[in-house]
Amino acid sequence: KVVKLGREAGLWRVSTQGGSELRAKSVVLATNAYTDDLLPGLARTIVPLHSFQIATAPVPAELVASILPGGQAVSDSRRILIYYRKSADGRLVLGGRGRMALPSSPADWAH
């Protein structure tokens, strides 16, 4: 884990939790949106997007063969992205975007 990051003489100086240090021309910050104070101000640039995905029980082979026979996925992005597709194990998977804020009430989850 990188614990310190700074610029020095035109290079990035990177210090790790294990005590190693290196210099690099470029760095990639891959925080998966769980950023800390490693780069001040970065956390304010993250916009949380919540999504959902549900799946059916496996659908009988003869029925699933007739659904989306070309293996395509379907989506509608007119207002709120909703999509559905078949999974490799014969389920129907439906997903889409949730509320912009962290769900905190039954109404949020119902959305």
pLDDT tens-digit profile of 3-42? 999 999 999 999 999 999 999 999 998 887 677 888 888 8
Q: Report pLDDT for 110.
A: 73
Mean pLDDT of 71-75: 90
Total-model pTM = 0.53
Q: Please say whether the beta carbons of 4 and 17 come within 8 A.
A: no
Cα(92)–Cα(39) distance, integer angstroms: 41
Q: Report pLDDT for 16.
A: 94
